[in-house]
């Protein structure tokens, strides 16, 4: 079974619509040690939800991890890794952070517990509920 992840991005820097337009991208710029651990655990075929931080604060769309992690070619440090990400569909309804925080199921989710974490795992029940809240 594929793993499931949430990837946070500032939409003024790179939004889900940018990913849809580009169809795929190298997900880079992650420097937080905990987030890098999660990034290194990703495998081709894993599923991801894209979360807009900043003013939006909502899960916006889906994506697929399109390749295993590899060293960031622009970083000059082998500890920093990136993954290739392929665009999926937008959620019919964005899932706002307030709705996520309101549900006990998400109490241990990184979005709730560690708000600055940019890459985090999502359990199967949490994944199903996020998709349901998003209209899928």
Give residue-wise pLDDT tens across range 90-110: 999 999 999 999 999 999 999
> Where residue 116 falls among pLDDT bands split at 50, 70, 90?
confident
Domains along the sequence of the chain with CATH: 4-133 (3.10.590.10)
> Where residue 44 falls among pLDDT bands split at 50, 70, 90?
very high
3-state secondary structure the chain: CCCEEEEEECCCCCCHHHHHHHCEEEECCCCCHHHHHHHHHCCCCCEEEEEECCCCCEEEEEEEECCCCEECCCCCCCCCEEEEEEEEEEEEEEEEHHHHHCCHHHCCCHHHHCCCCCEEECCHHHHHHHHHHCCC
In this prediction, residue 3 carries a pLDDT of 96
Give pTM, 2 decimals: 0.95
Give residue-wise pLDDT tens across range 53-85: 999 999 999 999 999 999 998 888 888 999 999
């Amino acid at each position: 079974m594929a793993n499931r992840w949430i990837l946070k991005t500032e939409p003024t820097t790179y939004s889900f619509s940018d990913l849809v337009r580009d169809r795929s991208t190298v997900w880079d710029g992650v420097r937080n040690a905990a987030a890098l651990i999660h990034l290194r655990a990703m495998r081709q075929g894993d599923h991801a939800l894209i979360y807009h931080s900043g003013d939006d604060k909502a899960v916006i769309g889906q994506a697929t991890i399109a390749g295993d992690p590899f060293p960031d070619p622009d970083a000059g440090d082998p500890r920093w890794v990136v993954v290739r990400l392929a665009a999926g569909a937008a959620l019919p309804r964005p899932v706002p952070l307030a709705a996520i925080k309101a549900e006990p199921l998400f109490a241990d989710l990184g979005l709730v517990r560690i708000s600055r974490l940019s890459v985090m795992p999502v359990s199967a029940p949490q994944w199903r509920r996020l998709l349901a809240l998003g209209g899928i």
